[in-house]
Structure 1
Amino acid sequence: MADNIGNKAAHDYHLDVPPAQEGFYVKGNAHCDWGMKNRLARMFDPKSGNTVMLAFDHGYIMGPTAGLERIDLVIPPLVPYVNVLMGTRGVIRSCISPAAPVAKCVRVTYDSTVLYDDMSNGGGKKLPELEALEMAYRAIAEGAHGVDMGRNIFQSDCPAGMAAAIGKVVHEGYTAQQAYEVYEELRNTK
């Protein structure tokens, strides 16, 4: 038993102060417990309530993928522009610092999730940058709280510019054309 000699008896419970009832910015998740909110808070931007997810598990599900030949050189520079990295355990561990300020979503399946006769099930084909930005803009305008892109970012002529432009659409409400100008500016400075 703990020694209670010299302990002060508790008596000030601040009954006149209501407990903090913090809301939660990820739509539909205010009822979740602390652990789920903690993980979602890493994935969704607290200001916009939205997320940009960068998928790069293509090599695992599709084999060698253009743009990911040197994943250690392509993906780390994109970390400042995205909220979530989606990849396999090995790739994330080999090229992303555990201290990187980005959520990590690890693929845990053991088989392919892409239907080769219908590439749209695997995230779609690489689109021209403006079209990809228009797709992201439409998704956000129609109520989505984020986008999951892979090849439309890492196969771009300027992956960092494309990731930054997608972030402008998702988090700052830029139109596709405004975001395309961001992409062009960064592409022209590389």
Structure 2
Amino acid sequence: MADTDGLLDARDFGGAAATTAGFHVKGAHAQDWGLQNRLSRIFRPDNGRTVMLAFDHGYFLGPMAGLERIDTNIAPLVPDADAIMMTRGALRTSIPPHSSAGIVLRASGGPSVLKDLSDEHIALDIEDAVRLNAAALAIQVFIGGEHESRSVANLAALVDAGQRHGVAVLGVTAVGKDMVRDARYFRLATRISAEMGAHIVKTYYVNEGFETVTASCPVPIIVAGGKKLPELDALTMAYRAMQEGAAGVDMGRNIFQSEYPAAMLAAVRAVVHDDAKPEDAYELFRERSAGSAS
């Protein structure tokens, strides 16, 4: 039997940074032109980073706070995001077709929050994704969950379809209630997603050892915002993640549940694209908030 503990506890990660071999997206230098072009709609070519606005939560949570009206609450924010992550239903009904943000479509689904969330299936046909001009498809991967094997098979099938059509795949590491959220687990979950062919991986930030997660994953890692935090705390998390090797953030609740979503989005952009320190980004948030309130 393989020495799993030894593999998981290895420490020769060589730092958080990795070369991109002439292309601005980590691990994508050998991809076809079309897939590279789509990745360039998500990650800015000048720095290889992204601010993704996530509002796909309704696919299992319904109309949660801040997402009651996507057309009025979310659509005005889209011009200031590099990419947007949503369902095809939300895209068709609520997002203006002149939007230039990279489109990341939720491609997995099935259970609601009332059921076991790991019981997912592929819920989007690749032809519809191409029809919608998607840059990437997002799929949940439940490493350690009850339906782990199926979720990994779903990811592999979606990667096969994406490679045929030049569409990137974003593997989202899901964490069950009973799982430990630490670097050891996220090294496992992110690496499996990348090994199965995901072009991007979305995961959570951890205070201890996050640089080992980014260093051991051969494709870009973007950090999930998670539950709503005070603005300074969310900006601090984003800053630390970027300094420790993340290629961007994919925030939802920490933006659309803020009292001033547009101001928060501007502050997050400052952290990701300008390396603004959390305190400076928070001051920008306060200035933009005051302007919004007046």
* Matched-pair contact (CA < 8 Å) for 2:226–2:251: no
Q: Does residue 258 of structure 2 align to residue 159 of structure 1?
A: no
| In structure 2, distance between residues paired with 1:50 and 1:41 | 10
Report deviation, 1:107: 0.8
Paired amino acid for 1:27: K
* Matched-pair contact (CA < 8 Å) for 2:225–2:249: no
For the residue of structure 1 that corresponds to 2:25, the secondary structure is: coil
Paired amino acid for 2:56: D
| In structure 1, distance between residues paired with 2:95 and 2:234 | 26
Paired amino acid for 1:59: G
Partner residue of 1:98? 97
Q: Does residue 140 of structure 2 align to residue 140 of structure 1?
A: no
Paired amino acid for 1:78: L
| In structure 1, distance between residues paired with 2:82 and 2:41 | 8
In structure 2, which of residues 216, 225, 230 is the aligned counterpart of residue 128 of structure 1?
A: 230
Paired amino acid for 1:106: L
| In structure 2, distance between residues paired with 1:166 and 1:123 | 11
| In structure 1, distance between residues paired with 2:78 and 2:72 | 12
Report deviation, 1:64: 2.4
Partner residue of 1:8? none
Partner residue of 2:284? 182
| In structure 1, distance between residues paired with 2:291 and 2:108 | 39
Which digits, 9 at most, give the CA deviation of each residue in 1:134-183, with x for residues without a partner? 00000000011101110000000110011111111111110111111111
Report deviation, 1:109: 1.2
Structure 1 segment 22-37 matched on structure 2, within 5 A: 23-37=22-36
Partner residue of 1:7? none
Which digits, 9 at most, give the CA deviation of each residue in 1:67-105, with x for residues without a partner? 111111111111122111101101111111222010111
Structure 2: segments with no counterpart, 5+ residues: 1-20, 112-116, 118-173, 182-203, 205-223
Root mean square deviation of aligned Cα: 2.2
Structure 1: segments with no counterpart, 5+ residues: 1-21
Check 1:116–1:27 CA distance in 2 against 1; reply closer, same or farther (3 A cut): closer
TM-score normalised to the size of structure 1? 0.82
Query: 107-116 or 65-74, which moves further after superposition?
Result: 107-116
Larger RCO, structures 1/2 (Cα 8 Å, 6+ apart): 1
Structure having the larger proportion of residues in strand: 2
| In structure 2, distance between residues paired with 1:153 and 1:169 | 14
* Matched-pair contact (CA < 8 Å) for 1:132–1:152: yes
* Matched-pair contact (CA < 8 Å) for 1:48–1:172: no
For the residue of structure 2 that corresponds to 1:136, the secondary structure is: helix
Name segments (4+ residues, structure 1) moved above 4 Å: 112-118, 120-123
Partner residue of 2:145? none
* Matched-pair contact (CA < 8 Å) for 2:60–2:109: no
TM-score normalised to the size of structure 2? 0.54
Structure 1 segment 40-55 matched on structure 2, within 5 A: 40-55=39-54
Paired amino acid for 2:231: E
User: Alignment identity in percent?
Assistant: 53
Partner residue of 1:71? 70
Paired amino acid for 2:91: I
Partner residue of 2:79? 80
Which digits, 9 at most, give the CA deviation of each residue in 1:4-35, with x for residues without a partner? xxxxxxxxxxxxxxxxxx93211221121101
* Matched-pair contact (CA < 8 Å) for 1:25–1:49: yes
Which digits, 9 at most, give the CA deviation of each residue in 1:12-60, with x for residues without a partner? xxxxxxxxxx932112211211011011000001122100111101111
Partner residue of 2:108? 109
| In structure 2, distance between residues paired with 1:42 and 1:123 | 21
Partner residue of 1:10? none
Query: 137-146 or 54-63, which moves further after superposition?
Result: 54-63
Which structure has the larger Rg over C-alpha atoms? 1
